Structure 1
Amino acid sequence: MGWVRSVARGALVVAVLLAGCAGSVPPGGAAAGGRGALTFVTAGDLTDYLAPLVEEWNAARPAERVSLVELPDAADETRAQMLSELRSGSRRFDVLNIDVAWTSEFAAAGLIAPLERGRFDLDAFLAPVVDTATFRGRLYAVPYVTNAGLLYYRKDVLDAAGERPPRTWAELARLARTLAPRHGLGGYAGQFLPYEGLTVNVTEAIRSAGGAVPREEGARAGDAEAAREALSFLAGGVREGWIPAEALRFKEEESKRAFEAGRLLFLRNWPYVYADAARPGSKVAGRFGAVPLPGPDGPGRSVLGGSNLAVSARSRHPATAADFLAYLTSEPVQRRVLTRGSLPPVRASLYADPELVAAHPYLPILRESVLAAVPRPKSARYDQVSLAVQAVAQDVLALRTSPEEGVRRLTRELAAIPSLPSRNSLPTR
């Protein structure tokens, strides 16, 4: 199950910061007391920013040391290993860095402990991210990093044509269909391979159209029409050619590389693309921009990405775990999450910090996108919900199924998931 890196090297001691994290109340639902060493499990840290943060904690709290466990980089493998360990009754993991989409599943299974809201500075966070950490009205995690989709565009091409970045689907389609071919470019791409990225792209389109993939609160009258409109928009792009056929095989990295290579006019992707596309060697460095995602009649809505920090329901040291969560979400550490890890923080004040905005020009646009963003559907069986969305969307984008039939099929498949009663499915037209 991955490998353990017990971070023991000395580092700068952030004594004042850690003192502010002391004296916490244990997470609600966990045993009282409970101070001592922790194991912190996460997906692979590709930027190596986490180890120094843990080193600082360990230097200041030698009696409450944290060992860092890094699982595989692939999200599906990380989730599977975390679930296997927790379901076995093991006490190995104390603090878990989980994808925002997993919070409901882990909470519903009783694998993570509810937390006391007053223990954490949630009012300082971007408001929508807090919702990703709740399940059935209770806080089960603390937001750690966030993400929202952006529309990247070739600024040089649009400027030369006297065009502005698209704010609506109609503008995006027109430019992708007419302007892109004149410059030998593909029009528009997202993440359309059948995996979690396709669920995100489809959910964003449905949300932008004013609807929702079924959630526990129940369906709304307009959801079926919004889903049909969203699937029609995407399928129309494939049929008309302004979504290139190769985009149906794109995940995040493949789509990013296509944009960096100068093969696309527009790309939907996460904020990390901004720094990568601006680096020397990128064919679009200095020639692109980013704006919020478009919708049918104006700015659209992104789905929130990122990760949350949760405490295992079987942790022996929940009080120390709560302190560690407060430490990782404190303002100084959140600043370094961005500067060292290139990950969007959850604290609102950092998005207006002049020094950070100068180094990361996309921050104001990202803040706008996050504030308009929504969580993925909350379900104890989110994995099955996502698979159903992927399967239907794949057939619609491959032009094997009409958008209308896709909505009807999605309704049936979601209603068949045991944890989702039929009243939560999309109403048929």
Structure 2
Amino acid sequence: MVLVAGCGMSSPSPAASDGSTAATSGPITLVTGPDFTGYMRPLVDKWNSVHQSEKVTLLTLPDAADDQHAQMVTNLQAKSDRYDVLNLDIVSTAEFADAGWIIPLDRRQFPLDQFLKPVVDTAVYGGKLYGVPYTSNAGLLYYRKDILDKAGKKPPKTWAQLRQLAMTLGPKYGLEGYAGQFFPYEGLTVNFAEAVQSAGGAILTDDGTKVAVNSPQARQGLNFLVQGLREGWITKRSLKFKEEESRKEFQDGRLLFLRNWPYVYGLVSRPGSKVRKKFGVTLLPGQDGPGSSVLGGANLAVSAYSRHQKTAIAFIKYFTGLDNERAVLTQGSFPPVWARLYDDPALIKRFPYLPVLKQSILAAKPRPVSPNYNQVSLAISNAASGALAFRQTPDAAIAQMAGDLGSVITNR
């Protein structure tokens, strides 16, 4: 795939959907990460059955998000027309828009007022719409409902309550207290950002032009995590956890609390799970009340080098329609972007966590917005990892992070 991406035909000059050469109809390619549940293929086949001259080829990239990003960048830097519609992680929208690799879209062509507002904001850069929200995501707190019920306790809403329950009930029932994703990668950036946000702080200013992390709130957030590791109620093994490692720990009945994404719900509910019908889901706790998750998800964007941008835009309209977004949830197990689906009684009966997930998404905040997001994330995870592994103090880690982030912004 790397060879194909790097050696694709070079198109004419990029053109927006304004009647120029690229604004034509014809076959297109949808490039995306793996479709583990197989829900995408039927939706693409349905389109192809009635668009014989505008068929869509589904091109799947590797599992790792970093590899997906690298292959898309290689393709677009080569000005290849191999990719038409890109299924982008929301953090890549600013980077690709700033580089001129994706085209601005006409807001009037999409029912954005029917989508969850925070999700729409992730597709906007420089005041222009550069993608259409396709899936959303927000962190949740999974907990052993059976154990909390036995103890007559409610799910924690604050850090103090989480700490107390993890320190007392965990040992009593032979469980470790809490785990997140603290291996030094994107997941650590997310967990750190959620701690900072839940203390009322920020990493960068909203426009991404200034460093905001050197604050009492950011230090409080990092101190909370470091303290949990020192005291032992955050398992030290979580320093090696990514999403799947932590999910398996909870599913195998070794954790009292887990921070993870909504996809975990379906997996731990399956036959064979040791916590099936024994767990609950709630909002992430914060310093003084419910916390704030990092907003995740994906946007569909149109390559500036696509020869058939008119078809690409029409396909995005189809693919993000209400019926298909319902399939995103029911068949793909991803959070949809249409607000009304979170209030559908039939869906809530099937997916009881939907009301909590909606609250989490509405209270969530995006990761720092920057065209150099990869460098931003690396600066965050490197410094945070040093503190969590006790290689440096939280204050020193925040100072290092602030300096590194300042260099990333300055060198843009």
Q: Which amino acid aligns with 1:312?
A: S
Matched, 1:410 2:401: yes
> Residue deviations 1:183-242, cap 9 Å, x none?
111100000001111101101111111111114355587861111001000000000000
Contact 1:3 / 1:70 at 8 angstroms: preserved in 2?
Answer: no
- 1:315 is matched with which residue: 306, 315, 318? 306
Partner of 1:39: 29
Matched, 1:63 2:53: yes
Partner of 1:327: 318
Which deviates further from its counterpart, 30-39 or 292-301? Answer: 30-39
Q: Which amino acid aligns with 1:213?
A: I
Matched, 1:203 2:187: no
- 2:154 is matched with which residue: 157, 161, 164? 164
Q: Which amino acid aligns with 1:314?
A: Y
- 2:366 is matched with which residue: 364, 367, 375? 375
> Residue deviations 1:256-296, cap 9 Å, x none?
00000110000000001111111111110011000010100
Contact 1:2 / 1:69 at 8 angstroms: preserved in 2?
Answer: no
Partner of 2:9: none
Partner of 2:184: 194
Matched, 1:288 2:287: no
Contact 1:103 / 1:140 at 8 angstroms: preserved in 2?
Answer: yes
Matched, 1:395 2:386: yes
Paired with 1:356 and 1:157, the residues of 2 have a C-alpha distance of 27
Please give the secondary structure, in 2, of the residue aligned with 1:56. helix
Paired with 2:289 and 2:226, the residues of 1 have a C-alpha distance of 20
Q: Which amino acid aligns with 1:317?
A: H
Please list, as runs of the form range in 1=range in 2, the aligned pairs for 1:168-317 lying within 5 A after superposition: 168-215=158-205, 216=207, 218-219=209-210, 224-317=215-308
Paired with 2:19 and 2:130, the residues of 1 have a C-alpha distance of 10
Paired with 2:102 and 2:410, the residues of 1 have a C-alpha distance of 19
Paired with 1:3 and 1:281, the residues of 2 have a C-alpha distance of 42
Paired with 1:220 and 1:190, the residues of 2 have a C-alpha distance of 25
Paired with 1:313 and 1:306, the residues of 2 have a C-alpha distance of 22
Please give the secondary structure, in 1, of the residue aligned with 2:31. strand
Alpha-carbon spacing, 1:307–1:201, altered in 2? closer, same or farther (3 Å): same
Paired with 1:206 and 1:241, the residues of 2 have a C-alpha distance of 21
Paired with 1:172 and 1:63, the residues of 2 have a C-alpha distance of 57
Please list, as runs of the form range in 1=range in 2, the aligned pairs for 1:35-114 lying within 5 A after superposition: 35-114=25-104
How many angstroms does 1:400 deviate by?
A: 1.3
Paired with 1:67 and 1:164, the residues of 2 have a C-alpha distance of 49
Matched, 1:133 2:90: no
Alpha-carbon spacing, 1:212–1:90, altered in 2? closer, same or farther (3 Å): same
Paired with 2:135 and 2:18, the residues of 1 have a C-alpha distance of 23
Please give the secondary structure, in 2, of the residue aligned with 1:63. coil
Contact 1:199 / 1:386 at 8 angstroms: preserved in 2?
Answer: yes
Partner of 2:342: 351
How many angstroms does 1:306 deviate by?
A: 1.2
> Residue deviations 1:43-75, cap 9 Å, x none?
111111111000000001111111110010111
Paired with 1:220 and 1:85, the residues of 2 have a C-alpha distance of 32
Q: Which amino acid aligns with 1:83?
A: V
**TM-score, normalising length: structure 2:** 0.94
- 1:120 is matched with which residue: 89, 94, 110? 110
Paired with 1:237 and 1:330, the residues of 2 have a C-alpha distance of 44
Paired with 2:411 and 2:153, the residues of 1 have a C-alpha distance of 45
Kindly, what percent of the aligned residue pairs are identical? 55
Please give the secondary structure, in 2, of the residue aligned with 1:64. coil
Structure 2: segments with no counterpart, 5+ residues: 5-15
Contact 1:379 / 1:419 at 8 angstroms: preserved in 2?
Answer: no
**TM-score, normalising length: structure 1:** 0.90
Please give the secondary structure, in 2, of the residue aligned with 1:114. coil
Partner of 1:20: none
Q: Which amino acid aligns with 2:249?
A: A
How many angstroms does 1:245 deviate by?
A: 1.0
Paired with 2:159 and 2:210, the residues of 1 have a C-alpha distance of 24
Q: Which amino acid aligns with 1:414?
A: L
Paired with 1:413 and 1:29, the residues of 2 have a C-alpha distance of 44
Please give the secondary structure, in 1, of the residue aligned with 2:23. coil
How many angstroms does 1:253 deviate by?
A: 0.4
Contact 1:38 / 1:94 at 8 angstroms: preserved in 2?
Answer: yes
How many angstroms does 1:33 deviate by?
A: 3.4
Q: Which amino acid aligns with 1:228?
A: R
Paired with 1:55 and 1:347, the residues of 2 have a C-alpha distance of 22
Paired with 2:196 and 2:410, the residues of 1 have a C-alpha distance of 22
Say how many residue pairs are matched: 400
Alpha-carbon spacing, 1:232–1:93, altered in 2? closer, same or farther (3 Å): same
Contact 2:210 / 2:406 at 8 angstroms: preserved in 1?
Answer: no
Partner of 1:10: none
> Residue deviations 1:83-135, cap 9 Å, x none?
10110111110000011111111111111111111111100001100111111
Contact 2:102 / 2:303 at 8 angstroms: preserved in 1?
Answer: yes
Structure 1: segments with no counterpart, 5+ residues: 5-25, 422-429
Contact 1:146 / 1:305 at 8 angstroms: preserved in 2?
Answer: yes
